[in-house]
Amino acid sequence: MSYDPRQVVEEMGLDPDDMKEIFDDYFREVKTVLDQIGPAVDAGDAAQLKALLHNVKGSSGNLQMQEVYELAAKLEKAAIAGDLATVAAEHPVLAAKIAENRRLVVQYYD
């Protein structure tokens, strides 16, 4: 299932320019969070990983990024269980899904 920014903009009922700002804020914030996941895995900091992944899950869900939401939820559960190997292995997949959604949003606004 591919992310459809046009549908999200329509369903949210906001001005497309306002939604662009929301998307820009999301991608800026989520990049910062993604950059912190690797060091948190390396440090064995499951609590920080849970918080980081919860952030990604929530903000992605708000923007109807279902695949990102589901993967972030899975990784949050793994962090809670102390399964940092799963978080480490799936972190690049999460980053790739977010990058693909970003590409679709940029394409929508071009």
The rounded distance, in Å, linking the Cα atoms of 2 and 12 is: 18
pLDDT per residue of the chain (110 residues) written in tens, 0 to 9 = 689 999 999 999 999 999 999 999 999 999 999 999 999 999 999 999 999 999 999 999 999 999 999 999 999 999 999 999 999 999 999 999 999 999 999 999 99
C-alpha angle 79/85/86, rounded to 5°?
Answer: 65
Using N-to-C axis directions, what is the helix angle for 46-62 and 66-80, rounded to 10°? 160
CA distances from 76 to 9, 10, 87 (A): 27, 30, 8
| pTM > 0.75: yes or no | yes
Is CATH 3.30.2320 the right assignment for the domain spanning 5-109? no
